[in-house]
Amino acid sequence: MLTDNIKDQLNIIELAKSEGLQLKKQSNRLYKTTCCFHNEKKASLTFYADTNTFNCFACQAHGDAINFYAKRHDLSNREAIKQLARQLGLQTSFKGLQRADRADLIAIGGQTGLKSIGEALKGVEKQLKRHQTDPDTIYRALKEFCGELDQASQTYLTSQSRGLTDETIKKFGIFSIKDYKKTKEFLLSKFKLETLQDLVLINRRQNRFMFSMHPIIIPVIEDGKIKAIRGRFFKKGFSNPDVFRAYTFGKYQSTAGVANRLFNGDILKTLKKGERVYLCEGEFDTMILEQYGKHAVGVLGVSNYEDDTIKRLNDFDLVIAFDSDEQGRKEALKISNIFYKQTGREVIREKLPEGIKDITELIVKRRQNEKLQNKN
Mean pLDDT of 165-188: 94
**What is the Cα–Cα distance from 366 to 349, expressed in whole angstroms?**
19
Task: Tell me the per-residue pLDDT of 67-114, one tens digit each, with 9 for 90 and over.
Answer: 888 888 877 777 777 777 656 544 323 343 444 444 444 443 433 333
Has residue 126 got a pLDDT over 60?
no
pLDDT at 272: 96
- Sketch out the chain's domains with CATH numbers: 2-130 (3.90.580.10), 135-258 (3.90.980.10), 263-375 (3.40.1360.10)
Highest mean pLDDT among 92-101, 119-128, 316-325: 316-325
The sign of the torsion formed by the CA atoms of 159, 160, 162, 166 equals positive
**What is the Cα–Cα distance from 67 to 363, expressed in whole angstroms?**
45
Q: For residues 178 and 197, is the Cβ–Cβ distance under 8 A? A: no
Neighbours of 163 (CB within 10 A): 21
pLDDT at 92: 29
Across 109-113, 291-295, 308-312, 363-367, least confident range? 109-113
**What residues are paired with 32 via a beta bridge?**
24, 46
pLDDT at 127: 42
From 26, 6, 33, 55, select the one nearest 259 (Cα to Cα).
33
pLDDT at 121: 40
pLDDT at 189: 94
Has residue 165 got a pLDDT over 50?
yes
Write the secondary structure of the chain as one string of H (helix), E (strand) and C (coil): CHHHHHHHHCCHHHHHHHCCCCCEECCCCEEEECCCCCCCCCCCEEEECCCCEEEECCCCCEEEHHHHHHHHCCCCHHHHHHHHHHHCCCCCCCCCCCHHHHHHHHHHHCCCCCCCHHHHHHHHHHHHHHCCCCHHHHHHHHHHHHCCCCHHHHHHHHCCCCCCCHHHHHHCCCEECCCHHHHHHHHHHHCCHHHHHHCCCECCCCCCECCCCCCEEEEEEECCEEEEEEEECCCCCCCCHHHHHHHCCCCEEECCCCCCCEECHHHHHHCCCCCEEEEEECHHHHHHHHHCCCCEEEECCCCCCCHHHHHCCCCCEEEEECCCCHHHHHHHHHHHHHHHHHHCCCCEECCCCCCCCCHHHHHHHHHHHHHHHHHC
pLDDT at 14: 84
If one compares 181 and 367, the residue with the highest pLDDT of the two is 181
Confidence class for position 239, pLDDT limits 50, 70, 90: very low
Mean pLDDT of 29-37: 89
Mean pLDDT of 133-139: 84
pLDDT at 33: 92
pLDDT at 53: 87
pLDDT at 288: 96
| Strand order across the 296-299 sheet | 262-263, 296-299, 276-281, 317-321, 348-349
Model pTM score: 0.65
pLDDT at 85: 67
What mean pLDDT value characterizes the chain?
A: 80
**What is the Cα–Cα distance from 345 to 252, expressed in whole angstroms?**
34
Has residue 134 got a pLDDT over 70?
yes
